[in-house]
Amino acid sequence: MFRKIWQKTMIAMALSDRVKAFAQNSRATSFLSGKYVSGDSPEAGIKRAQDLLEDTGIRSSLFYMGEYVDDWNLVALNIENKLEIADQLGRSGLDVHVSIDPTQIGHHLDPTIVAGHAENIAKAVQLAAGDSGEINCLMLDMEDASLNDPTIALHNHLQNMGLPVALTLQAYLKRTHGDILEQIERGSRVRLVKGAFAAGADIAYTKRSDVKQNSRKIIADMFSAEARKNRFYPIIATHDTALQDFTIETARANGWNAGEYEFEMLLGVREDVAIALAATGERVRVYVPFGRDWWPHAARRIGENPANALLLARSLIS
């Protein structure tokens, strides 16, 4: 019960313009931005990605923060930053792995222009990556359930064009098992996440145990013989060590070796687990956000675990 109340409280704080203004201008809470966000510029994101790779062998997925955008100027700024990060990643020698939300590039304003914007960013990723041989892609993040069909359609369109693209699917949704089977048939790159949006029992699993059970069912398919034959590329985004262990066991049982798939985690969340996993030879990637509006992202990370209440309290009274 307390966990749900805590999560709802932090979501409300993440959405509050007044709280955001206080948090982003207060020295007391500034350390939270350093923990969960790499900085306010593409250069800061690149620097954190370089440090992670050099210090721990962990790769990065760069994300310029800003979602559910309903202003054309912000759409233009989002696209500019996505293009800039692709170019800088290419020149830095790092993986070119850029995440976007469809709503960042205009979906809520005009869904018909999203594909063109996404094509331009994917082409920038392709150009920047060159012949590096790394796993480079434009990663389509998945937002609330109303964006499922448009996001999948956008992914399939870009993939059909031969552009480097990957898709995020959410284990809490009941439809995801069918969606993953379709993407396995296509030989796609798919990142499986738990899903952080609220949805009713008609379309979603509402119990944590059911979400975990569905995750295992989906992971088993992601590492099937058919997936391997189709050159499907699994990306398992979880901080749950039991689910990570299940993934590795399933992979080995079906002939997949370390490096033929990825784990992904969030910057600032269970960093010790990410480092330990990478030390065993697993390919690990960290989701590295950057941008000026850091509070909503940080608040959602704090809200994921009631134990983080102490972290927030220390920042407010220090």
- Domain CATH number, residue 198: 3.20.20.220
* Chain position carrying tokens 């350093």: 34
With 90 as the cut, is the pLDDT of residue 98 above it?
yes
In a domain, 131, yes or no: yes
In a domain, 171, yes or no: yes
Domain count, the chain: 1
In a domain, 186, yes or no: yes
With 70 as the cut, is the pLDDT of residue 197 above it?
yes
What would the mean pLDDT of 85-103 be, rounded to a whole number? 90
In a domain, 11, yes or no: no
With 60 as the cut, is the pLDDT of residue 274 above it?
yes
In a domain, 216, yes or no: yes
Q: Which domain covers residue 288, as residue numbers?
A: 38-293
Mean pLDDT of all residues in the chain? 86
* Chain position carrying tokens 């992670």: 52
In a domain, 316, yes or no: no
In a domain, 88, yes or no: yes
pTM over 0.85: yes
What would the mean pLDDT of 68-90 be, rounded to a whole number? 89
Strand partners, 173: 204
In a domain, 97, yes or no: yes
In this prediction, residue 316 carries a pLDDT of 46
